[in-house]
């Protein structure tokens, strides 16, 4: 096996194509050439990608894209890259980009780990966001969780000094694992108090999924680590 594929042999996601609405199909056909990041092997020039130089936020697994679009709208001085493997979600986000006339958001439909490893320059990200990733709650599936020590090492390479890693989950066991894996890497420092967790920052929108969880009494754990 080549070095290119040694980081992870087990993927943290399962592709679920789903059914595209006519609007999503139109968005993928017409808007992808404007805002999509095509597959490739070359290192991305992020300033050229956005036609400007600005802080870069990279989000893995944006779902239907509503919260990411809201963040991009509220932070016009920041460039956002969103990665999602669910094509209907990608189509929905492209529609939101058009509707809200967002010029600071680009979209990729691929394996985020591969994109990070091979196409994102080192020390280029100001913040990486990972909100409500698949918890793979069965013990035998924990190896599929995206947060693993090897992935944390990759993030130390891609997040610039002084940049941040922000994670959120509604599974306490996963939160505890995240806390442990990040705390064991001396290139990250926890921004929280002694509890290890932070209140939801204002820049992270409260999702419908999260609101439903609150009504059902579910907890949510936010973790924020700074790259030394």
Beta strands in the chain (DSSP E): 56-60, 79-83, 105-108, 125-131, 159-169, 188-190, 221-227
Tokens of 177: 């694992």
Active site residues: 134
d(CA 106, CA 186): 31
Q: Are strands 105-108 and 159-169 parallel, antiparallel or unpaired?
A: unpaired
The residues facing 224 across adjacent strands are 166
d(CA 178, CA 147): 6
Q: Residue 57's closest CA among 153, 160, 135? A: 160
For the chain, helix, strand, coil in percent to 5 are 40, 20, 40
d(CA 176, CA 121): 30
């Amino acid at each position: 096996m080549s070095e290119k594929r040694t980081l992870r042999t087990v993927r943290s996601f399962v592709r679920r194509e789903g059914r595209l609405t006519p609007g999503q199909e139109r968005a993928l056909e017409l808007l992808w050439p404007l805002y999509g990041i095509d597959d490739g092997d070359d290192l991305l020039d992020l300033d050229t990608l956005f036609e400007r130089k600005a802080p870069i936020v990279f989000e893995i697994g944006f779902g239907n894209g509503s919260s990411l679009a809201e963040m991009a709208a509220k932070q016009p001085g920041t460039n956002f890259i969103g990665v999602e493997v669910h094509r209907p979600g990608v189509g929905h986000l492209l529609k939101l980009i058009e509707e809200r006339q967002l010029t600071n958001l680009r979209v990729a439909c691929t394996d985020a780990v591969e994109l990070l490893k091979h196409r994102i320059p080192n020390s280029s990200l100001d913040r990486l966001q990972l909100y409500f990733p698949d918890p793979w709650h069965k013990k035998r599936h924990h190896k599929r969780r995206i947060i693993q020590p090897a992935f944390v090492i990759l993030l130390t390479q891609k997040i610039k000094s002084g940049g941040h890693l922000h994670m959120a989950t509604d599974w306490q066991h996963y939160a505890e694992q995240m806390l442990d894996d990040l705390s064991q890497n001396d290139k990250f420092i926890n921004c929280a108090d002694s509890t290890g967790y932070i209140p939801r920052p204002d820049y992270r929108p409260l999702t419908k999924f999260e609101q439903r969880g609150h009504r059902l009494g579910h907890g949510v754990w936010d973790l924020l680590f700074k790259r030394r």
